A = this chain, B = another copy of it.
Amino acid sequence: MTTTAPSYPVVEGEYHLGTVHLQRGGSIPNAKIAYKTFGTLNADKSNVILYPTWYSGFHVNNEWLIGEGMALDPNVYFIIIISAFGNGQSSSPSNTPEPYNAARFPNVTLYDNVVNQHRVVTEHFGIEKLKLVVGWSMGAQQTYQWAALYPDMVERAAPFCGSAKTAPHNFVFLEGVKAALTADAAWNNGWYTAPPTKGLRSLARVYAVWGFSQPFYRQELWRKLGFNSLEDFLVGFWEGFFLQRDANNLLAMLWTWQNADISANEHFNGDIEKALKAIKCPTVILPAKIDLYFPPEDNEWESQHIPNNKFVVIPGVWGHFAGGGLWDEDTKFIDNELKELLSK
């Protein structure tokens, strides 16, 4: 087998923001935002797609939606995968020096993420227009926030399997995720010296049934992912994923997610309808049919308040992970919607 290098530039980088003062108080000294770019920025900087990461996702976890011939084609666009705070690549509990490390990493809001990403895009890259902002899950939440805060900059938005404001049941789901991790004494209120693996495995098992749908499990579709038993899937896919993550990072992002609300800032003062109305650009909202924590109903409500949107449900039974890049049919569905949106 030979690996062919891509015919377009792929660059990983970080932008240092200095001290970032946070919306809910506190600050991150020498804060940084990590990114990875695909393709070439054109002369008038008009070919930019911004693609924020999801809960605990690294850059690499976003890459399935990028490729030649796809909507996110690096031969055409300059695509920036940008890391949310807490993901372990941008400033996070795991990589921030004392005294703001580990359990002392401050609370970061959705707003904090987006206004600082805006600095990376404008100060670092000198970009004034975004052809598209697109993202999955917490990446979708950042997409909504971008479109609402910067309506003159964001030309198109495509949030998939996410919401503009975390719904209460989603909040409670995350309470369970948090409780499962923090029940492990090894977590030690965040001051662990070795990873609290029991808690990470526990979190993974709680998460497992939420990520996919009832029919996904009924039809044993984990077999399509190469696992030969349900237990194998729980260990290999779920525990394997979360054991690679830092517990404090997971808790930091969990707080961001639980409190995500695009209207929770001075621009909208908690008026979610006002914030949704501020999204002027053509928007495609793509929930998955049986997403258990970001169910289509929540997006349907949102779509009634966003002026220029297309609301379309990703069919099938992969649940939230319809947006995870695991299943070709779902990926093609999303890709087609993005192609249509970009052609406008």
Residues in chain A within 8 A of chain B (CB atoms): 167-169, 171-173, 175-176, 178-186, 198-199, 201-202, 204-209, 212-218, 220, 230, 234, 292, 295, 297-298
Contact = CB atoms under 8 A, between A and B. Distances in A.
A160 to B, nearest CB: 18
Given A172-B234, A184-B185, A292-B292, A179 B206 contact: yes
Contact of A205 (B176, B199, B218, B295): B176
A209 B176 contact: yes
A202 B217 CA distance: 24
A171 B231 CA distance: 11
B201 A179 contact: yes
B297 A175 contact: no
Given A180-B183, A198-B183, A172 B218 contact: no
A104 to B, nearest CB: 22
A197 to B, nearest CB: 10
Contacts of A292: 292
Contact of A180 (B202, B218, B297): B202
A205 B184 contact: no
9 contacts: A167-B217, A172-B208, A172-B209, A175-B209, A176-B176, A179-B180, A180-B202, A184-B184, A215-B297
A222 B179 CA distance: 20
Contact of A202 (B183, B234, B297, B298): B183
Given A183-B202, A184-B185, 14 more contacts: A167-B217, A167-B218, A168-B230, A169-B217, A169-B218, A173-B209, A175-B208, A178-B205, A179-B180, A179-B205, A179-B206, A180-B180, A183-B183, A292-B292
Given A202-B183, A206-B180, A214 B175 contact: no
Contact of A168 (B172, B199, B206, B217): B217
B169 A214 contact: yes
A238 B154 CA distance: 43
A297 to B, nearest CB: 7
Nearest to A234: B175
Nearest to A208: B172
Contacts of A202: 176, 179-180, 182-183
Nearest to A200: B183
